[in-house]
Structure 1
Amino acid sequence: MTPEMILTMIMLAFAVVLFVFEWVRVDVVGIIMMVLLPLTGLISPKEAFVGLSSNAVCSIIAVIIIGAGLDKTGVMNQVAGPIIKLAGNSESRVISLISGAVGVISSMMQNIGAAALFLPATQRIAKRMDIPVSRILMPMGFCAIIGGTLTLVGASPTILLNDLMTLGGEKLAPFGLFTQTPIGICLLVAAIVYFLLFGKYILPASTGETDRGVTAALMEEYKALGNTFELTVADGFTGPRTLQDLHIRSKFLVTVVAVHHAGEKRTNLTPRSNNDIQAGDEIAVVGKEKNVRKMAQELGWTLKAGLETFADSLARTSAGMAETVVSPRSELIGKTMNQINFKELYNLNPVALFKGNRIYYTGLSQIALAMGDTLLLHGPWERFHLLKNQPQPRVLTFATPLEGEILRPQKAKLAVFWLALSLLQIIAFKIQLSVALMSGALGMIITGVLSVDEAYRSVDWMTVFLLAGLIPLGMAFEKTGTAAFIATKVLGLLGQPAPIVLLAVVGIMTSCFTLVISNVGATVLLVPLCMNMAVMAGADPRMAALVVGLSASNTFVLPTHQVNALIMRPGGYRTVDYAKAGFVMTIIFLVVELSILYFFYGV
């Protein structure tokens, strides 16, 4: 080995140690590499920072912004809703549809985003069907990871491939957007079948731990509040009668927060006391269960097991509660909410009033407010944000954070248009990946789908700097001949393996590497090495690079992947659960991947 090769190996070992022991954040490791590599003379200063302007980094930034635009306009919620309804009450259908949908969606957006989108809905379905949430969340999470193998832009490792495929200073033919799609589809189907057949045996029967959020904490703090319930007004109900006539709040200590008028097919999220209630209407209320049951029994209404009609409009991501304080110089001071038409003005439901040392749950609209009084309000997050962002002087000051954000459903068609335009450029006009995707991201900003500040905030800059710092390390491996040297040694141990055997070794190496360092780091470090190994063994170096990119998503044995970490607490999983289910999934992944390459890609 030459001194340059030894130094390169030392740099690699140093990076791996930093990744494993996490003495610094992973993005700092990337920056360390950008600084140390030119200082040691392994690459030039210009080469050290070329990663920041690489096709891969720009593509990842653009994909994240496009995904944020789709989420901001509610497109992803519209995709999730019908799928959840189709799942019905069949556990196997729930697993198949949710896991398949998450897999397909993560082929075009960050897999962590796809998994996070379906997490609340999946927990709600599991509770409604009375099945352990652990039997749904892990299949969903694994399929979100595998979904990144469906297209070239589905995961960071495959986005990197075309930039990394350099041999002898020459670029190899790039992969297309759907080159790997047949492999990804087979992997996704295999994962779903695996969990359908063996999920009950390999997954724990855990209900998991749900993140309560601010609304749940407030309901616990205010003792008279229990939960949100949905009721159906009986067909025999003699109406119409107004909410004021029914005395629901004063008689049962229950607050009506939404009404779906069946006759008008209209949902009212800020019901007034003079609103009519008729047979067939759906009512959403907040209160203790025993009070709600008493009300249902006395009025002859039907109490549902969970939210159905209001499942989306009152979901945690759509609506909730916030604690507000009457501000100095507020127009509310000395007035009752009736006098200023509070509901009509702010479209929010008062649930409780903390005044002095007493909490009021009834008669709220008749009590004169004073500075410092605390109002507990319920309503859509969008209306809370509008209230919070009103110009000075503020009527109310928020004492608790807001969980939701203002969506822009009116921009949904524009978001879909820019995504479609980006894909059209890649598929039909062969425009470079980064240029096509960045044009879609720019289109979303220009047309107001996202503001430029929202676009900047959506980008995971930690991933960007990690990637930008590791690309030069891969270049050092190639430039100093270290990759070729290691390839020669590995081939010496293997002898003269058949191309498929070599690819199997490459897949196993990558799968092991990606358990202890990031999948991006594993890809950048292993692609140059494995391409050199393939050339020496007489195999196709492009296929070796593809195996590395795909196998970098084969990370199921430990909860180190972002998606696995996301579902760990909600699913009630332990590390041993990942090891148990992930070990078999890892083997299935490698077998399916190599089989498709052998039989359909001419390896």
Structure 2
Amino acid sequence: MEAGALTTDMIIVFVLLGIAVTLFVFDLLRVDLVGILMMVLLPLSGVVTGDQAIAGLSSNAVVSIIAVMIIGAGLNRTGVMNLVAEHIIRVAGVKETRVMGVIAATVAFISSFMQNIGAAALFLPATMRISRQLNISAGRILMPMGFCAITGGCLTLVGSSPLIMLNDLMESWWINNPQALDNAPFEPLGFFSVTPIGIVLLAVILLYFILFGRKLLPSDACLIDEDTMEKRLQEIYGSEVGSSYEIEVPPYFPPQTLGELKIRPRYHVTVVGVVKADRMRKDLSPTQETHIEPGDTLWVIGSEERIAKIAEDHGWTVKEEHDVFRDLNYPEVSGVVEGVVIPHSNLSGHSMEELQFRETFHVNPLAIVRRDEIILDNINVTQLRQGDTILLQGRWEQFRLLAGKTDIAFLEDIKGQDLRPERTRCALFFLVLSLVLALTFKVQLSIALLTGALGMIVTGVIKADRAYEAVDWRTVFLLSGLIPLGTAFEKTGAAAYIATMVLEAVGNPSPLALMLIISLLSAFFSLVASNVGATVLMVPLAMNMAVDVGTNPVVAAMVVAISASNTFMLPTHQVNALIMRPGGYQTRDYMKAGFGASILFTTALVTYLWVFYPL
């Protein structure tokens, strides 16, 4: 086995690979622009054709991602993902580590019988919803989920592309090398042949994040983007308005009305919800006449200091987290917005008390901004003027009703979703149809998923414009640019050159050492090129080397296909690219968490072979 000569094309590919990795590592260019840069430089350098450079845009992986994002948005629109999120929270509770473990294990299981990118993309909306509901940074959940989705592909022989094609590659080598094994017949691997190894690898990755996740993952909790309404409200109002809390009224508290308690004038705290002791009656727009009685639970908004003061003065208890109002405090359900009193508005010249604003619209005024003044006292009896800005809290569905009036102009689109639960069965039908086409009828994954996505659009589960908005085009262009880089790596012989040089350098290793070398090479090629390309290249090389050192070539080939999932250190794998933007990750986050994951993955794999396989 001799290494060929190093060609000019190989040198160009190595240089472009170095440029891409450098840009990734030091974040010198946005990741999607790095992909487009590779798409441009590769054909200009002559190592691939123009058609090959743009082939990634129509690749099975990229089209599958686009389709599954649309399917996920359709499921989200019907409220299915709400149910999934609620069920996971019910099982896992609100602890970050448990939530992360349940989500990661669930996605890994789904990934064992469908492509891992499909499993991750399908579950992404529910994961984002859970992170918002529990006020946990998505960056603390998405990377463990993504790594486990990749590892879950090792649980069955259909979990990842390398394992799907493994039997065919081994059989082809077997036919061409009959003398190597004394003309013994080829016996393909069974569906669950890799399952024991896959379970061990998955357990290792899960434990890795459970034990060390807090040190490895970004610590920023629920960062506020620069261009969001929350960021702007925070800048304008600061601590004047405050945050949301739940307060419990003790059994000995004498009944009083909110007007008698004078909570707003005394403490600048707004009561936005009251639940009676029996929890059967819930008032989400309480007025001055609302009675506060023993055992009631209040939902209030105010600064931490003022909330502590009101609790101290009245003997109330501030809960550590939302309980009674948890389902209403989710960002998808309720929030805070600004509305401007427009010219000729019916509100102008009247107070909100006169117009019974709370009783009519079931939203809660928190403050009035008049020029440079923030009015917090007596806002219910303050006469509104044209141009006043009212800070309001309430459910998004109530804001949508209010937006239909001509009295207030909201400064930003109303959040939340106008769910269509009546289309749930239709959405689930097209999801199941996609899976059946792909798994049972062996329809190409991209075509099967496009069928489901198109079905949801045509039947009105999701509008066409919303479908386009659901696609993360940054991810699409990142992957589309990396695919031709992998093609160039294989086409020019650069991958084969590296593999041959390494195998020549190690000489005649022991069987266990050979498996380690094969695993590391396969992981490297999967990281910088593609897992499919790495498998096609490495399976025959590994099987030949295994025969040379007198060990089982089938085990060597299996190591290649499994190690092709060891792609954690860069956002080059489709799953890593998918979660990069929603998780707020940078390349250094993948390197930080992925280095340890890769070492443990390889160590667990080689240790398992040493213990359970006669090499």
Shorter-chain TM-score bucket reads 0.7 to 0.9
Q: Gapped runs of 5+ residues in structure 1?
A: 125-132
With the length of structure 1 as denominator, give the TM-score of the two structures: 0.75
Q: Deviation digits for residues 387-411 of structure 1, max 9, x if unmatched? A: 55x48xx533334676655555555
Secondary structure of the structure 2 residue equivalent to 1:62: helix
**1:374 Cα deviation (Å)?**
1.4
Superposed, which structure 2 residues align to 1:39-188 within 5 Å? 42-43=47-48, 45-87=50-92, 95-105=97-107, 107=111, 108-110=119-121, 116-120=128-132, 141-151=143-153, 158=160, 183-188=197-202
Determine if the alignment matches structure 1 residue 6 to structure 2 residue 8. Answer: yes
One-letter amino acid of the structure 1 residue matched with residue 384 of structure 2: L
Aligned to 1:427: 439
Determine if the alignment matches structure 1 residue 354 to structure 2 residue 369. Answer: yes
Aligned to 1:191: 205
Instruction: Assess if the C-alpha contact under 8 Å between 1:232 and 1:302 holds in 2.
Output: yes
Aligned to 1:129: none
Aligned to 2:597: 585
Secondary structure of the structure 2 residue equivalent to 1:553: coil
Aligned pair in 2 of structure 1 residues 19, 575: CA closer, same or farther (>3 Å)? closer
Aligned pair in 2 of structure 1 residues 191, 163: CA closer, same or farther (>3 Å)? closer
| Residue 385 of structure 2, aligned match among 358, 364, 370 | 370
* Distance in 1 separating the partners of 2:54 and 2:142: 37
Aligned to 1:130: none
* Distance in 1 separating the partners of 2:40 and 2:191: 33
Q: Deviation digits for residues 453-490 of structure 1, max 9, x if unmatched? A: 22222222233233334434444454555544444333
One-letter amino acid of the structure 2 residue matched with residue 64 of structure 1: M
Secondary structure of the structure 2 residue equivalent to 1:364: coil
Aligned pair in 2 of structure 1 residues 594, 382: CA closer, same or farther (>3 Å)? farther
**1:350 Cα deviation (Å)?**
0.7
Instruction: Assess if the C-alpha contact under 8 Å between 1:143 and 1:188 holds in 2.
Output: no
Secondary structure of the structure 1 residue equivalent to 2:244: strand
Aligned to 2:541: 533
* Distance in 2 separating the partners of 1:553 and 1:574: 11
Superposed, which structure 2 residues align to 1:567-586 within 5 Å? 579=592, 583-586=595-598
* Distance in 2 separating the partners of 1:418 and 1:549: 31
Aligned to 2:245: 229
One-letter amino acid of the structure 2 residue matched with residue 376 of structure 1: L
Determine if the alignment matches structure 1 residue 441 to structure 2 residue 453. Answer: yes
* Distance in 2 separating the partners of 1:150 and 1:303: 42
* Distance in 1 separating the partners of 2:493 and 2:217: 52
Q: Deviation digits for residues 1-45 of structure 1, max 9, x if unmatched? A: 989953144134214313423565444444455455556665555
Aligned pair in 2 of structure 1 residues 370, 578: CA closer, same or farther (>3 Å)? same
RMSD: 4.9
Aligned to 1:493: 505
Instruction: Assess if the C-alpha contact under 8 Å between 2:155 and 2:195 holds in 1.
Output: no
With the length of structure 2 as denominator, give the TM-score of the two structures: 0.74
Q: Gapped runs of 5+ residues in structure 2?
A: 112-118, 175-187, 548-552
Corresponding pairs, count: 570
* Distance in 1 separating the partners of 2:133 and 2:192: 30
Q: Deviation digits for residues 45-93 of structure 1, max 9, x if unmatched? A: 544443333322222222222333344444444434454455569x7xx
* Distance in 2 separating the partners of 1:180 and 1:112: 27
Instruction: Assess if the C-alpha contact under 8 Å between 2:264 and 2:377 holds in 1.
Output: yes
Aligned to 2:18: 16
* Distance in 2 separating the partners of 1:77 and 1:87: 15
Aligned pair in 2 of structure 1 residues 254, 245: CA closer, same or farther (>3 Å)? same
Secondary structure of the structure 1 residue equivalent to 2:450: helix
Instruction: Assess if the C-alpha contact under 8 Å between 2:247 and 2:298 holds in 1.
Output: yes
One-letter amino acid of the structure 2 residue matched with residue 492 of structure 1: E
Aligned pair in 2 of structure 1 residues 599, 332: CA closer, same or farther (>3 Å)? farther
Superposed, which structure 2 residues align to 1:123-522 within 5 Å? 141-151=143-153, 158=160, 183-194=197-208, 199=212, 203=215, 208=220, 210-211=222-223, 214-215=229-230, 218=233, 221-222=236-237, 224-237=240-253, 242-244=257-259, 246-263=261-278, 265-296=280-311, 299-356=314-371, 358-384=373-399, 387=402, 390=404, 394-399=406-411, 406-408=418-420, 411-412=423-424, 414-495=426-507, 501-509=513-521, 511=523, 519=527, 521=529
* Distance in 2 separating the partners of 1:465 and 1:96: 34
* Distance in 1 separating the partners of 2:190 and 2:371: 67
Q: Deviation digits for residues 179-217 of structure 1, max 9, x if unmatched? A: 876555433322333455x549x9499975552575476
Instruction: Assess if the C-alpha contact under 8 Å between 1:255 and 1:351 holds in 2.
Output: yes
Instruction: Assess if the C-alpha contact under 8 Å between 2:486 and 2:528 holds in 1.
Output: no
